[in-house]
Amino acid sequence: MTDCPYLVYTDYRKNLTVRDTATGRQRWTRKIGSFNSRRIAVHEGLVIVTDAERLRAFAVADGAERWTLKAGDFSRFRDPEVIDGVLYARKAADRPPGRVNRPRR
C-alpha cells in the first residue's frame, strides 16, 4: 500500500475503515456484513475485500461501493491481490465492470 496515503483495516465489528495517515482522521467506515481477517487490496482508488462469498470494491475517497462479484461457480474467493494490474482472488477478474476472466482449458 505504498501508493495509498491511507490506513485501511477491518475489525471484529464487521467494519471496513479508512483513515488518513497524515492526520489520523477517519475518512469513512462501512459495515461489510462479515468479519474480515483476510488481506485487503488497495489499487487505483479502490479498496477490495472479500468475505469468501463476495468480492467487493469500495472507493477509497468516500466508501461508495463500486462493484460486487458473487462467488457463484468459483465456490469461494481467496485473499485479493493485484499483480501487474490484474485483480486475483482465485481466478482473474477485470476491474469494472467486473467481467470474469476464466482460464482456457
Q: What is the pLDDT of residue 40?
A: 86
Residue-wise pLDDT for 47-86, tens only, equals 999 876 788 999 999 999 999 888 776 567 777 888 888 7
In this predicted structure, the answer to whether residue 92 has a pLDDT above a threshold of 70 is no
Residue bearing cell 471484529: 12
Query: Which cell numbers hold the place of 68?
Result: 460486487
Tell me the CATH number of domain 6-98, given options 2.30.30.30, 3.10.129.10, 3.30.420.40, 2.40.10.480.
Answer: 2.40.10.480
| Rg, the chain, Cα only | 14
State the Cα–Cα distance between residues 68 and 55, nearest whole angstrom. Answer: 6
Mean pLDDT of 39-43: 87
Q: Note if the pTM is more than 0.75.
A: no
